[in-house]
Amino acid sequence: MKDGMTIDGMKAAILILITVAIALCFAACGSGSSATAPKTQDEWTWANGSNIDDQVGTYGTEGTASSANAPGARQSAITWTDKSGNLWLFGGYGYDSKGNVNFLNDLWEYSDGEWTWMSGLNIGGQPGTYGTQGTAALSNVPGARWGGVSWSDAAGNLWLFGGYGYASVSGAAGVLNDLWEYTPAPPGQQMTVGEWTWMGGSNLTGSPGTYGTLGTPASGNIPGARYGAVSWTDGSGNFWLFGGNGAALPGDSGSLNDLWKYSAGEWTWVNGSDLANQPGTYGTLGMAAAGNIPGGRFYSVSWIDKSGDFWLFGGSGYDSSGTNGDLNDLWEYSAGQWTWVNGSDASGQAGVYGTQEMAAAGNVPGARNGAFSWSDSSGNLWLFGGVGYDSTGKGSGWLNDLWEYSSGQWTWVDGSNVNGQIGAYGNLGQAATSNIPGARTLGATWTDAAGNFWLFGGVGFDSLGDNGSLSDFWVFKP
């Protein structure tokens, strides 16, 4: 198991999350113009990849799809789903084409049952090629990184912000606040790969935020460099960003709780503090208030519901008393105010699982960070795994519990209520009620056009109980 990557003053936090090298032998799964999945409800399918840790992938030829292509396995990659339901994957920390372990900056598309290496290098540790800000070029590419955030716009372009890795200069990695747009090649064009555009932020690491005036957009505003933030896209196509671990104002770094909006080319500091390591202000459970704000945190999970409201759960950060640890608080952001909806205002809480597949008011997932999240077509919120506390509360470990939040209650749907579980893979390509991914954290997720949930890799347990980097590819139809 490899040591976690760090930034100054944050070694203890990042070691919790475990950085491990991986590689993957991902092959084609599904067919058609977008990712496809077995049509079995409420069952996991091991769709592709290896059930043994530390597998190596194959890049093939840039811009050319092949059933033999496979992204190297990794953790903390950045993902998108495009308008056609195709799956996109960028960077993370794992194995390159030579089997070396480093930050990655390769961009992949999964479509028509095949992976295509679309951009970036097949060798890890690469600095970014920024070009001219605002100008697209085939030679442009973000530097290798993990833990950035992503959005997709109405035109089908892919957006990337920050993370931890390499900027324009080779050398030591650090936190980033560069904003990028990737425009895929139009269908039917001779050019098969798209272009990156550096849209804003710094081409150096460690840049503090420029907050400006609360609630006022300005061309000079920019969130500080960070990794492990969460993001949303609202009904008007605006991008939102919350928290992470990194730089606030100059000389101040740590866990963040600032909320930002990006619209019409400008950032607005909307809510939260411009100082790091702030405790949460919870107010009264179930009641919105202008003064409520989640504490500074990173590697939370986020959702957006059918009403367009934002949701936030857990992460590693600060509770109501200012204690730093894993959290299990659930928050809703609606009409400009935060509401503490569920969970505890104290860190380090064990899970209350109740009876599997039965909702109950007292059920709640244990505190965790680095979990997985999806939203279904009904607007319900789904949560899987991460590293944190199980039903016993006896220390933190890797989890593989699957939860649904609907109508104000949590349901423990699948997986174990005890941490450290190995994966039950079954037969490749066959759904079964006994299948379940092994306990893990910091993997990649997507939701395809058909509403299926996809999960790839992370750090955790394979089919033999080995704890390492995973390259398995799973699908779940809610």
Mean pLDDT for all residues in the chain: 90
User: Hey, what CATH topology would domain 11-476 get?
Assistant: Neuraminidase (2.120.10)
What is the arithmetic mean of pLDDT over 212-236? Answer: 98
- Give the 3-state secondary structure of 114-125: EEEEEECCCCCC
Greatest mean pLDDT among 10-24, 58-72, 90-104, 249-263 lies in 249-263
Mean pLDDT of 39-54: 81
CA angle (320 as vertex; 315, 323 as ends), nearest 5: 65
Measured from the Cβ of residue 306, the count of other Cβ atoms closer than 10 Å reads: 11
Res 14: pLDDT = 36
Which one, of 163, 16, 25, 149, lies nearest residue 104 by Cα?
163
pLDDT digits (tens, 9 = 90+) for 50-98: 899 988 888 999 999 998 898 888 999 999 999 889 999 999 999 899 9
Q: How far, in Å, CA of 297 to CA of 19, rounded?
A: 19
Helix (H) or strand (E) holding 12: helix 11-17
Q: pLDDT at position 110, please?
A: 86
pLDDT at 4 over 60: no
Which pLDDT belongs to residue 362?
Answer: 98
pLDDT at 189: 65
Query: Which residues have a Cβ under 8 Å from the Cβ of 310 and sit 6 or more positions away?
Result: 232, 240, 302, 303, 304, 332, 333, 334
pLDDT over 90 (residue 42): no
Residue 112 pLDDT more than 90? Answer: no
The region of weakest confidence among 64-73, 424-433, 451-460 is 64-73
Q: Is the pLDDT of residue 15 over 50?
A: no
CB of 246 within 8 A of CB of 253? Answer: yes
pLDDT of amino acid 115: 86
Question: Is the predicted pLDDT of residue 39 greater than 80, yes or no?
Answer: no
Strand partners, 227: 245
Q: From 430, 397, 400, 424, select the one nearest 414 (Cα to Cα).
A: 400
Tell me, what's the pLDDT at 190? 59
